[in-house]
Amino acid sequence: MRTHPYTACLALALLLLTSTGLLTNTASAANALFLGNAPISRMNTQDVDLLFAAAQAVLDVGEDGVGRRWENPRTGAGGTLTPVRTYTGDSGPCRDLIVENRAGGITGPAMTVSVCRAANGEWKLKAD
The 10s digit of each residue's pLDDT in 57-110 is: 999 999 999 999 999 999 999 999 999 999 999 888 999 999 999 999 999 999
Helices (H) and strands (E) in the chain, counts: 3, 6
Within the chain, strands assigned E span 68-71, 78-89, 92-103, 106-107, 111-117, 123-125
Across residues 38-52, what is the average pLDDT? Answer: 92
| pTM (predicted TM-score) | 0.72
Q: Would you tell me the crossing angle of helices 5-19 and 45-61 to the nearest 10 degrees? A: 110
Cα–chain center distance at 128:
18
Domain boundaries, the chain: 5-125
pLDDT bucket at 13, cuts 50 / 70 / 90: very low
Q: In sequence order, what are the residues at sequence separation of 6 or more whose Cβ sits closer than 8 angstroms to the Cβ of residue 47?
A: 72, 75, 77, 103
Residue 6 one-letter amino acid: Y
